[in-house]
Amino acid sequence: MSVKSWFPLIGLTCAAFIFNTSEFIPIGLLSDIAKDFKITEAHAGLLISVYAWIVTLLSLPLILLVSKIELRKLLLFTLVLFVGFQVFSSVSANYGALMASRIGVACTHSVFWSIVSPLAVRIVPDKNRPLALSMIVTGTSVAMILGLPLGRIIGLHIGWRMAFLCVGVFAFITFLYLIFVLPKVPSHGGFSLHRLPVLLKNKLLVGLYLLSFAIATSYYTGYSYIEPFLKQVAGLKDSWITSTLMIFGGAGILGSLFFSKYYGKYPYAFVGIVIFSVSFCLILIYPFSFNSYLIILLCAFWGMAVTAFNVAMQAEIINNSPQSATPVSMSIFSGIFNLGIGCGTLIGGGICTYSSISYIGYVGGILAALAFIYWQKKVLKQLKNRKVIPCL
């Protein structure tokens, strides 16, 4: 791939890193935010749930509203708004102000994740499209390796507000970089609302959405409360928790690499294995929590599996959508995935409040196991019978 293609792709990967760092930061700072505002961890966890629900509700309306805007201009404008809301988060004097700023960030998230993957695969040669998509997902993994732990380290040492401010600074630097390297990319025209029912009549696409929702729900039932779980149940020290979160994200890069290497050759087996692995890891979180090394190893395998699933679902949605409708298809995916995040966080919070944080893995694992059955009985058959020729 030419240098001309690499430069903007690296910029988009950095932007993906920043957006996901912003999304994940509250997970690593729940205890500090709760303590500062004198609320429970479950109450603080609503920052994650509400964020996800806003993305769910607004991803489709927002992308329909801006679908006629040239993609470079739209991405840069989204980054400017993102920077502003991060600054707002950093100066929030109370929980309500912080929630309002997170809602603003969620709106920019809705637009960004609707356009970044389609944008990435359009600025590279066709043969490099899988690489472009895996690079974007790698940005997510690096956010888990560096973003979330660094945010946690900053929060522990100089306050959680500075963690949000630092995200805003990095986002502004990325904005300046993309101004110079990102080419103009036509939007293919607007996507009218009356075409939406036609898109949603695609049974395979709907099946992929439902599968994504189920896995996101199961995953975040456990992951949203992994920081207090590792502290309270596994008994890990703060430094070990930070390292574990970094290892979780680092393993995600392996998941992205495995996608690039094996998905094209064995797509159905690949997806089935990663779904089963998510269920396997969730169910074993509590049994493995009694040994520090085992729980860290399990988190690494878990991180690899969920990242591989995420990129595989994006590939399938792009493959099974008309090119002109890809941003809309991805906005629906983003919304549904975040609905799963919100539901998972709510379920996990309910378990923490009314039962025990020790059981979040069991509940999440059962949900993932049901998703695996749905994959085998329903979605896999639709994929094998599809008439669309995969392009990734």
Residue 266 token pair: 């064995």
Residue-wise pLDDT for 216-260, tens only, equals 999 889 888 888 888 888 888 878 887 887 788 778 888 888 887
pLDDT given for residue 29 in this prediction? 78
Residues in the chain: 392
Element (H, E) at 145: none
Provide the b/e sequence for 370-383 (b: ≥16 CB within 10 Å).
ebbebbeeebbebb
Q: Would you state the torsion angle of the CA atoms of residues 67, 72, 73, 76, taken in this order, to the nearest 10 degrees?
A: 110
Tell me what the mean pLDDT of segment 191-210 comes to.
77
Q: Pick left, alpha or beta for residue 94 (phi over 0 → left; psi -120 to 50 → alpha; otherwise beta).
A: beta
pLDDT of residue 81: 95
pLDDT single digits (tens) 278-334: 999 999 999 998 998 999 999 999 989 988 898 888 888 877 777 667 777 877 887
pTM equals 0.76
- What sign does the CA torsion over 151, 168, 107, 213 have? negative
Contact status, residue 339 vs residue 154, Cβ threshold 8 Å: no
Residue 235: how many CB atoms within 10 A of its CB? 12
Buried b (16+ CB within 10 A) or exposed e, 142-162: bbbbebbbbbbebbbeeebbe
Q: What would the mean pLDDT of 111-116 be, rounded to a whole number? A: 86
Q: Which of 95-109, 118-132, 202-216, 263-277 bottoms out in mean pLDDT, i.e. has the lowest?
A: 118-132
What architecture is the 3-384 domain classified under in CATH?
Up-down Bundle (1.20)
Q: Tell which residue, 370, 384, 389, 368, has the closest CA to residue 269.
A: 384
Q: Give the number of other Cβ atoms within 10 Å of residue 322's Cβ.
A: 15
Contact (CB, 8 A) for 259 and 305: no
Amino acid 52 reads A
CA dihedral for 111, 116, 121, 122, sign (positive or negative): positive
| Average pLDDT rounded to a whole number, residues 370-374 | 94
pLDDT at residue 187 above 80?
Answer: no
Q: What is the pLDDT of residues 129-141, one digit of tens each?
A: 777 877 887 777 6
Q: Tell me how far apart the alpha carbons of residues 155 and 146 are, in angstroms, rounded to a whole number.
A: 14
